[in-house]
Chains A and B, each alone.
Chain A
Amino acid sequence: DVVMTQSPLSLPVTLGQPASISCKSSQSLVHSDGNTYLHWLQQRPGQSPRRLIYKVSNRDSGVPDRFSGSGSGTNFTLKISRVEAEDVGIYYCMQSTHSPRAFGPGTKVDIK
């Protein structure tokens, strides 16, 4: 089974400053169809998860452009160019290339 790891697990950030979260998978996430099914989710306190980025680097509709995703193979990154107060929450990476699907443990982002 694919294991997803994230770092850091806790990320205190200053408003207006950038933030970066790393996600690594134990196997390549390149699917036989050529796509890489690595996605990023945001879960604000008390809310359901919300997808921000799909297939590594595609921003979902309505997601601010301060969020960006990059990476390939087994190494991926979510970046927030300038953190805003509404970005507080837990961020998960998720792979849906292989079964069973797997989530990272989550990175808690809060304001310093």
Chain B
Amino acid sequence: EVQLVESGGGLVKPGGSLRLSCAASGFAFSKAWMSWVRQAQGKGLEWVGRIKIKSDGVTTDYAAPVKGRFTISRDDSKNTLYLQMNSLKTEDTAVYYCMIECSSTICLPGWGQGTPVTVSA
């Protein structure tokens, strides 16, 4: 069974940093492109960024609002995805989800339960 478990959320002041983790199990994590998605309270889903697999160069891509501030990485030996968030702004307040991307090789359904991040003074 595919499982994704996010952690690391919390309350942080504007300008601060936070690192989120997503522990994956039940599938070949090293073969899956992964994304982070966020959802502000009462709002829709917003894509944050994506990381490819090793054979695709572990390439990352980001949404404009977070580019230059957020960094996605992965540790395939630990089956874990990360989101390093720096220079946080109040508008980054949201629930952050990790999800499995659908690629030409793997297209599994998988979303975590989310971890809330609140950026407030």
Q: Is B11 an interface residue when CB atoms closer than 8 A count as contact?
A: no
Residue of A nearest to B99 (CB): A49
Residue of B nearest to A102 (CB): B47
Residues of B within 8 A of A60 (CB): 109
| Docked-complex contact B44 and A92, CB < 8 angstroms | yes
In this complex, the member of A37, A50, A51, A92 whose beta carbon has the largest number of chain B beta carbons within 10 angstroms is A51
Main secondary structure of the interface of A (DSSP, over half): loop
| Docked-complex contact B45 and A92, CB < 8 angstroms | yes
Listed in ascending order, the chain A residues whose CB lies under 8 Å from chain B are 33, 35, 37, 39, 41, 43, 48-51, 54-55, 58, 60-61, 90, 92, 94, 96, 99-106
Listed in ascending order, the chain B residues whose CB lies under 8 Å from chain A are 35, 37, 44-47, 50, 61-64, 97, 99, 101-102, 104, 107, 109-114
